[in-house]
């Protein structure tokens, strides 16, 4: 069991490094994993299935390792050719995972999270319940987080606005069953502690100089120095009465300060939550909920 936990953490670490390439997507993997977990729980899946869906949510974008930085970080909408490159990431993720000992935990979520019920998705234009269960859940969570997150070309939407779009696209872009569950959870306020956060109780911050997301971690205490990985600016972290503020120092980080770091504490927590699927048969479920 210990070896399986280490293998899973290595996958989580790799996914974290892939995410760190894009300063606008800080915390995306954690949010998608938690949204997927909440939806799976609300849908009555068994604990091992809930854990597997959560793992798939965190690993779903592994294939973006092959997307060039110029496309991944483009501060404008993508051209048709650039979008075609982005659309290769599920297939790349499949190749990365296919021979891994824990591939069954995430392969469907990685490969099929951009498929759509109406068959207009990618990479295989699957439709309806031909789309694996895990991918149907993660696909809804991924799109919802994308809508509620700030991107180079737009600010993030409100929860209500994003839920409205999900409601309009049920049965076409989003699985009706899981999309309705997300809407219900959102209307109940169950998602409020996830949207706009990078880990529990840590809200995302804007860089005062350039705007992109600065991710703060729980181990960073008052007066810690943090760095924007977009502009390189040095910022002093100010914590007061549960609030977080960033104060520019006027300095810039060196190469060591700007390199991404693996946040072992949160990854260990995710591995702990995933123990039920590691302890059970890891064969991907074929049920169609």
Which residues does the annotation mark as catalytic? 64
DSSP-derived secondary structure for 86-115: HTTHHHHHHHHHTTSTTGGGTHHHHHHTT-
202-215 per-residue burial string, b: 16 or more CB within 10 A, e: under 16: bebbebebebbbbb
From the CB of residue 185, how many other CB atoms can be counted at a distance below 10 Å? 19
CA 141, 150, 116: angle at the middle one, nearest 5?
A: 30
User: Helices marked H in 124-225 — which ranges?
Assistant: 133-148, 159-168, 176-187
Number of neighbours of residue 131 by Cβ within 10 angstroms: 23
Torsion of CA 173, 86, 282, 276, to 10 degrees: -80
CB 16 within 8 Å of CB 267: yes
- 3-state class percentages of the chain: helix first, strand second, coil last, to nearest 5: 50, 10, 40
DSSP state of 21: T
Token readout for 222 is 């008052």
Distance CA 135, CA 113 (A): 4
């Amino acid at each position: 069991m210990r070896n399986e936990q280490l293998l899973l953490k290595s996958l989580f670490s790799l996914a974290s490094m892939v995410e760190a390439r894009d300063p606008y997507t800080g915390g995306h993997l954690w949010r998608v994993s938690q949204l997927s977990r909440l939806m799976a729980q609300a849908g009555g899946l068994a604990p091992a299935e809930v854990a597997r869906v959560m793992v798939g949510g965190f690993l779903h974008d592994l294939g973006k390792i092959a997307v060039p930085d110029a496309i991944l970080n483009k501060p404008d909408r993508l051209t048709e050719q650039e979008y075609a490159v982005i659309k290769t990431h599920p297939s790349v993720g499949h190749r990365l995972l296919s021979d891994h000992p824990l591939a069954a935990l995430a392969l469907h979520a990685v490969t099929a999270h951009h498929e759509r019920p109406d068959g207009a998705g990618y990479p295989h234009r699957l439709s309806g319940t031909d789309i694996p269960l895990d991918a149907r859940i993660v696909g809804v969570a991924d799109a919802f987080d994308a809508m509620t997150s700030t991107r180079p070309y737009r600010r993030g939407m409100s929860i209500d606005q994003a839920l409205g779009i999900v409601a309009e696209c049920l049965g076409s872009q989003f699985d009706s069953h899981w999309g309705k569950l997300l809407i219900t959870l959102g209307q109940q306020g169950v998602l409020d502690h996830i949207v706009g956060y990078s880990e529990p109780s840590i809200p995302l911050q804007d860089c005062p100089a350039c705007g992109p997301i600065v991710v703060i971690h729980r181990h960073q205490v008052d007066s810690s120095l943090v760095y924007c990985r977009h502009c390189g600016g040095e910022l002093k972290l100010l914590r007061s009465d549960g609030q977080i503020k960033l104060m520019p120092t006027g300095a810039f980080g060196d190469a060591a300060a700007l390199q991404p770091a693996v946040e072992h504490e949160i990854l260990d927590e995710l591995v702990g939550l995933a123990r039920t699927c590691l302890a059970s048969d890891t064969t991907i479920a074929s049920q169609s909920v």
